[in-house]
Structure 1
Amino acid sequence: MSARMVVAEVDKGAYAPLLALEKYVHSGQLGEALLALVKVRASQLNGCAFCLDMHATEGRKAGLDQRKLDVVAGWHEAPQLYTARERAALALTEEVTQIGAHGVSDEVWQQASEEFTEADLVTLLMAICAINTWNRLAVATHQELPDSA
């Protein structure tokens, strides 16, 4: 499948707001491994190969266990692999990513509130929103995978 468009070639400034959001997200206290896990899960739900490739690589570089990456699509079936914090982040990621289905349940919100400070919860929400935007841009434009290293 070939790219429909390369957004940055059409408008070099188009990604600037998203890059600022990424800077904000990565300046928080969530940690790169958790951010990668969240980004991989949202990208799975959105079917974004480009982002899956990128964020799985980032996760490994951040020390995220390969088994967690391999099983994350079925994390509900393997809760012992994930910390309570990771499970809360994944549950929130799924409900925010699929918000049109049922919104965000009180149960998932409560779990996230128990595992994250309010400030970290804001950062987590912004991270989830950011990856969903990146996914939509990449899928809509058929963004091509980079050559493997």
Structure 2
Amino acid sequence: MSLRFNYQKENPEALQTMLKLEGFNSKSGLDKKLYELIKIRASQMNGCAYCVDMHTKDLGKMGESQERMHLISVWREANDIFSDKEKAVLELTEAVTNISKNGVPQNLYEKVLTYFSEKEYIDMIMAINTINCWNRIAISTGMYPGCF
């Protein structure tokens, strides 16, 4: 893969818009590790190597174990590696990332609300939307780990 072009140089306003979304997410109060789990799982699903690389490194710097990071893509089969709360977030990430398939089923919405408020639910939706947007920018412009 090769970088098609540097979108940050070609359209700085697009970058600034994305950074505003990141600013919103960072002020939302969403747990930083949960946000990284969202970023990694959505990036895995979307096939964004650049973002998977970046966010596994970021999560590792937060003290996350290699074992847990290696098992994010198979969280359902990882038994007790992830808490029920984390599993709800990962399942929501998958549903929103693949929203055209089944939407967000009512039972998933209710499961998420056992751990989070409605405000936090929207915060997570915004976080999931943001990483999906970053993935689409990175993939569309040919970004790959180490390209900058």
TM-score over 0.5 (shorter chain): yes
State the one-letter code of the partner of 2:140.
A
Aligned to 1:13: 13
CA RMSD of aligned residues (A): 1.5
* DSSP-derived class of the 2:104 partner: coil
Match of 2:43, as an amino acid? S
- Measured against aligned partners, the alpha-carbon deviations of 1:71-102 in whole angstroms (never above 9, x if no partner) come to 01110111411111111100000000011111
State the 1:5 CA deviation: 1.9
Aligned to 1:80: 80
Question: What is the DSSP-based 3-state SS (H/G/I as helix, E as strand, rest coil) of the residue aligned with 1:145?
Answer: coil
The amino acid across from 1:124 in the alignment is M
Change (3 A) 1:134 1:147: closer
Aligned to 1:105: 105
Matches within 5 A, 1:125-140: 125-140=125-140
Q: Distance in 2 between matches of 1:140 and 1:101?
A: 22
Comparing 131-140 with 6-15, greater Cα deviation is found at 6-15
**1:142 match:** 142
* TM-score (normalizing by structure 1): 0.93
Q: How many pairs were matched up?
A: 148
| CA distances 1:52-86 after superposition (whole Å, capped 9, x unpaired) | 01100111112222211110111011141111111
SS in 2 for 1:13: helix
Secondary structure of 1:30's match?
A: coil
5+ unaligned residues in a row in structure 1: which ranges?
none
Structure 2 spans left out of the alignment, 5+ residues = none
Partner of 2:36: 36
CA distance in 2, matches of 1:145, 1:65: 21
Deviation at 1:32, TM superposition (A): 1.4
Deviation at 1:29, TM superposition (A): 2.3
**CA separation in 2, counterparts of 1:38 and 1:135?**
12
Whether contact under 8 Å (1:33, 1:63) holds in the other structure is no
- Structure 1 residues 125, 49: closer, same or farther in 2, change over 3 A? same
* TM-score, normalisation: structure 2: 0.94
Corresponding position of 1:49: 49
